[in-house]
Amino acid sequence: MAADVSSRRWVVWLLLTMALCLSCAEAGRGQVPVKRRLEVQRHLRRLNKRAVRSIKFGENKVASQKRTPPLSQLWHQHGRCPKNTIPIRRTKRKDVLKASSIRKYGRKKHKSIPNPLSVDPDLLSESGHQHAIGYVEGDTYYGAKATINVWEPKIQQANEFSLSQLWILGGSFGEDLNSIEAGWQVSPDLYGDNNTRLFTYWTSDSYQATGCYNLLCSGFIQISSEIAMGATIYPISRYGGSQYDISILVWKDPREGHWWMQFGNDYVLGYWPSFLFSYLADSASMIEWGGEVVNSEPDGEHTSTAMGSGHFPGEGFGKASYFRNIQIVDDSNKLRTPTGVGTFTEQSSCYDVQIGNGGQWGHYFYYGGPGRNSNCP
């Protein structure tokens, strides 16, 4: 009897041990290490401040087409922020976990800036970023403006993005580059979907240790309660159909030296304090307008991630994406048309740019392309 009880106890202990091991193995699958989980929680607490009001909604664009005016953000249909508050897109745990590290979350890769002055073909695409831009350089600039055609380009890989923006640049293209950026982008890795979203970016050391998108770090100070950084822009343009665009102005306050951003004609969104920068504390030395994509070369081929509308500039209005009424701010704090506008693209068979001038559009250009095609393998 004693032996039988002992044997039973041994079997029960063995079964319990096996169950515990199985439970541990099952629980461990897909789990985030405790240290990283705690780091993510602390980071989310820093990003997601206590809300005065929380506006929850599904960003279903098909259901939101009725009576949606241009320059609208989808969250407006579900409420507004109270006076003296600002809208902040809530960052989710899964968003942060997609990044290779918390430090890299919400940041561009080093050397992603388009350098039209480079003549070394080996350096043009080494970062995996490709561009089709118009630019001016050789003077001092205190801001820039553009009206940008809004599309929803197709993204092949989740770790790639497609954007259209303006760049305010100071310094060299080495380790000390200062950059202020604003426009629209589609970035599944950053936002978790393929929606077209308003964004900003800044760096004072060529994307190494400073700067971030939107409000994901200290830097840009938002004052507007109407427009949310990182929120979906809608409606968007359709090939051969209705066309929509947004206007963005960035200018330097001559008194305080801060760089301010305006969206459309009515919304001053906020500013980048001058102390963030070295070169841009004074002025910019180059202005760029145009598109950028990440080419991760999936399967050893050029990506099919689209830029702009995904069609080449030669197709023209309603089919190719455009920048129109591009302007710079001069040292008297006035907008004027740029002179000596150049163009640049690393591979015109993948993404191209064609500039024009005249009429109500002033200085303009069409840009973009499909990425991989028979001439861009």
Please write the tens of the pLDDT for every residue from 324-344: 999 999 999 999 999 999 999
**Model confidence at 21, in pLDDT bands (50, 70, 90)?**
very low
pLDDT value at residue 258: 98
Phi, psi of 189 (to 5 degrees): -65, -35
pLDDT over 50 at 269, yes or no: yes
In a domain, 32, yes or no: no
Residue 354 to residue 46: CA distance in whole angstroms: 44
Active site members: 181, 292
In a domain, 151, yes or no: yes
pLDDT tens across 215-266, in order? Answer: 999 999 999 999 999 999 999 999 999 999 999 999 999 999 999 999 999 8
**Model confidence at 68, in pLDDT bands (50, 70, 90)?**
very low
**Model confidence at 4, in pLDDT bands (50, 70, 90)?**
very low
Q: Are 225 and 270 in contact (CB under 8 A)?
A: no
Element (H, E) at 5: helix 2-28
In this predicted model, which residue has the larger pLDDT, 327 or 84? 327
CA-based diameter of the chain, in Å? Answer: 103
Element (H, E) at 18: helix 2-28
Phi, psi of 113 (to 5 degrees): -80, 140
Q: Which of 186, 144, 150 is nearest to 287 (CA)?
A: 144
pLDDT tens across 308-329, in order? Answer: 999 999 999 999 999 999 999 9
In a domain, 29, yes or no: no
**Model confidence at 42, in pLDDT bands (50, 70, 90)?**
low
pLDDT value at residue 136: 98
Residue 350 to residue 373: CA distance in whole angstroms: 7
Q: What's this model's pTM, rounded to 2 decimal places?
A: 0.81
- For residue 192, the one-letter residue type is G
Domain count, the chain: 1
Residue 377 to residue 348: CA distance in whole angstroms: 12
**Model confidence at 28, in pLDDT bands (50, 70, 90)?**
very low
In a domain, 183, yes or no: yes
In a domain, 33, yes or no: no
Report DSSP letters for 154-200, one per residue: --SSTT--EEEEEEEEES-SSS--EEEEEEEEE-HHHHSS---EEEE
Average pLDDT over residues 78-88: 79
In this predicted model, which residue has the larger pLDDT, 360 or 78? 360
**Model confidence at 152, in pLDDT bands (50, 70, 90)?**
very high
Q: Phi-psi bin for 41: left (phi > 0), alpha (psi -120 to 50), beta?
A: alpha
Supply the mean pLDDT for the chain.
Answer: 83
202 DSSP β-pair partners: 180, 212
In a domain, 132, yes or no: yes
Average pLDDT over residues 57-64: 50
Place of tokens 């401040």: 49
Query: Which residues contact residue 293 at a Cβ distance below 8 angstroms, ignoring those fewer than 6 apart?
Result: 129, 130, 153, 160, 161, 162, 163, 303, 305, 306, 307, 351, 371
**Model confidence at 102, in pLDDT bands (50, 70, 90)?**
low
**Model confidence at 66, in pLDDT bands (50, 70, 90)?**
very low
pLDDT over 50 at 131, yes or no: yes
Domain that holds residue 175: 41-57+68-368
pLDDT value at residue 18: 32
Distances (CA, A) of 130 to 88, 107, 137, 160, 364: 30, 17, 20, 11, 20
pLDDT value at residue 51: 60
**Model confidence at 80, in pLDDT bands (50, 70, 90)?**
confident
pLDDT over 60 at 54, yes or no: no
pLDDT value at residue 232: 94
The SS3 assignment for 259 reads strand
In a domain, 209, yes or no: yes
Q: Are 181 and 85 in contact (CB under 8 A)?
A: no
In this predicted model, which residue has the larger pLDDT, 74 or 366? 366
In this predicted model, which residue has the larger pLDDT, 20 or 43? 43
Residue 54 to residue 56: CA distance in whole angstroms: 6
pLDDT over 70 at 20, yes or no: no
In a domain, 92, yes or no: yes
pLDDT over 50 at 274, yes or no: yes
pLDDT value at residue 81: 80
pLDDT over 90 at 288, yes or no: yes
Average pLDDT over residues 200-212: 94
Average pLDDT over residues 157-170: 96
In this predicted model, which residue has the larger pLDDT, 329 or 68? 329
Average pLDDT over residues 12-31: 35
pLDDT value at residue 100: 54
Residue 330 to residue 341: CA distance in whole angstroms: 15
Residue 342 to residue 37: CA distance in whole angstroms: 48
